Amino acid sequence: MTAAVQQAKPGFFSGLLPPLGGLKQDLPASIVVALVALPLCLGVALASGAPLFSGLIAGIVGGIVIGFMSKSPLSVSGPAAGLTVIVFDAIQSLPSFQAFTLAVVLAGAMQMLFSLSRSGVLAEFVPSSVITGMLAAIGLILILKQIPHAVGYDGDPSGEFAFSQTDGMNTLSALWFSFTDKLTMGAVVISVISIAFLFWWDANRPKDGPFKLLPGPLVVVAGAVGLNALFGTIAPGLQLQREHLVEVPIAEGISGFVSLFSLPDFGQVGNATVWTVAITLAIVASLESLLSVTAVDELDPQRRTTDKNHELFAQGTGNLVSGLIGGLPVTSVIVRSSANVDSGATSKLSTILHGSWLLLSVLLIPAILNLIPLAALAAVLIQTGYKLTKPALFLKRWKQGYTQFVPFVATIAAILFTDLLVGIVIGLAIGFVFVVARNFRPAVSFVCDGDGQSCMIRARRNLYFIHKYELQKALNQVPTGADLLIDLSSTSYVDLDNIDIINAFVRGAPFRDIKVSVRGDIAEKSAPLVNAPRRELVHL
């Protein structure tokens, strides 16, 4: 007997403790992710019509709680741009923000139930062309949405990804407006220097020495704060004012900081609208998280695969905790996750640390955070967006053929001109059309020799009910008096509908003087053919 190595199946809670071996890589990566997450947390809260601090709570919980519970090594969770419209409408329709956070708690509990029902498997049915299209679209949106911030127009929140903006414009008109009416030279100088440095740093980062692990975005942010202060001394006309800087809520002491948290209004548990919002959040947040985690697995240099069912449990836990302390709903988020990957993170320790930095910074140094120019953070996000949508990605999909390129481009266009969730649904619909179309390619071939005395019907792949017409059409072409070989050797499954068609033909074959042989063990594929006169079963 051949010896086999027995490997125990990992338990549900195994692998939750973050490994410390990659601390040298995860520490600087976590700082970059925290810098990227800060404006996005505030921007999503602003776009959602929620208290700004609720966005920071969601970012902190997404980092620490979900980071600890998740088994994804590189995914980073936080308040999601894809939920802003749903959250905004929900807050408006409910009697209080505390009633909304109750819906977040209930949504988290539902996600945990989704995990127990093994719903995470749905992520495996999403075409890769849609996943890469989503990544490229988010990259393009980051670039298009952050350019106005880079030149000094901050009318739209940083975390808003929808085509139609809250300031009454859209993604494209805001670009034109920012360059023609809202150009701020101080922001332009800071963003141009920052972008140039980030790309130069990526190409020329020291391979050893004290600067080997120094994050470029940290240099950019610190440099931008110093440069803006210098503007105040030597060129006051260039100095960026309050509206162009980060705006973190500042609490008076520990008691003031604690007062920024709030409990849900459990008295609204009988409100039907609360349950409707909870169900909506649970379904949409689960979908967005599953797609995001699948995309992050694609970005992972080590090609690790995340347990999607466990991820749903982790996301549900995060939403439950976030709602309990007054935070927005959380999902796995591509922007933070891709920044995590690009910064060289190796494990979920980076995710947990990024949440810790957010917590410590808003607790200890909010006044310093409020000195950071939005133009510098826009530069970091623009570089992140470029890495998600490099021209090589488009060329790769083009070379794979139209069945991959069309869903890829359609997903990008749909997300760009609607919003993240609507665009993903459109991309999925188009992707599935191509999947179905590929399955409707001829599965059955029919050939005869010159005099029509020897014929063969061959199944090229598994036969399902959609192939019934094709099989019946081939059988109808068999001439009277011919010897027919039905070749099923290339199949591993033939459904009962097609078995019935073959059986019916075999029964009627003697009346047309047709001799039928079957190649392949049909008993292992679905059900045995009936015994019929003059039928020869051939096993090869």
How does DSSP assign 13-77, residue by residue? TTT-SPPSTTHHHHHHHHHHHHHHHHHHHHHHHHHTTS-HHHHHHHHHHHHHHHHHH---SS--E
Q: Identify whether the C-beta of residue 532 lies closer than 8 Å to the C-beta of residue 512.
A: no
The Cα 150–Cα 404 span in angstroms is 34
- Looking at residue 15, its pLDDT comes to 60
**Burial class of 20 by CB neighbour count within 10 A (0 to 12, 13 to 18, 19+):** exposed
Q: Give bridge partners of residue 454 from the DSSP assignment.
A: 483
Q: What is the pLDDT of residues 200-210, one digit of tens each?
A: 998 888 777 77
Q: Which two tokens stand for residue 238?
A: 């260039």
The Cα 121–Cα 135 span in angstroms is 21
Q: What is the pLDDT of residues 478-519, one digit of tens each?
A: 999 999 999 998 888 888 888 888 988 988 899 999 999 988
Q: Identify whether the C-beta of residue 74 lies closer than 8 Å to the C-beta of residue 337.
A: yes
Q: Identify whether the C-beta of residue 214 lies closer than 8 Å to the C-beta of residue 28.
A: yes
Q: Tell me the Ramachandran region of residue 209: left when phi exceeds 0, alpha when psi lies from -120 to 50, beta otherwise.
A: left
Look at 4-13, 175-184, 292-301, 432-441 and tell me which has the smallest mean pLDDT. 4-13
CA 291 to chain centre: 4
Q: What does DSSP assign to residue 528?
A: P
Average pLDDT over every residue of 34-49: 89
Average pLDDT over every residue of 263-277: 95
pTM, entire model: 0.77
Dump the DSSP string for 481-525: T-EEEEE-TT-S-B-HHHHHHHHHHHHHGGGGT-EEEEES-GGGT
Average pLDDT over every residue of 36-45: 90
- Looking at residue 498, its pLDDT comes to 87
For the chain, percent of residues with pLDDT exceeding 70? 93
The sign one gets for the Cα dihedral 113, 117, 118, 121 is: negative
Q: Which two tokens stand for residue 426?
A: 């459109």
Residue 173 carries which side chain, given as an amino acid letter? S
Q: What is the pLDDT of residues 81-103, one digit of tens each?
A: 878 888 988 999 999 999 999 99
Give the residue among 436, 439, 435, 415 at the shortest CA–CA distance from 427.
Answer: 415
Among 51-60, 173-182, 530-539, name the most confident range: 51-60
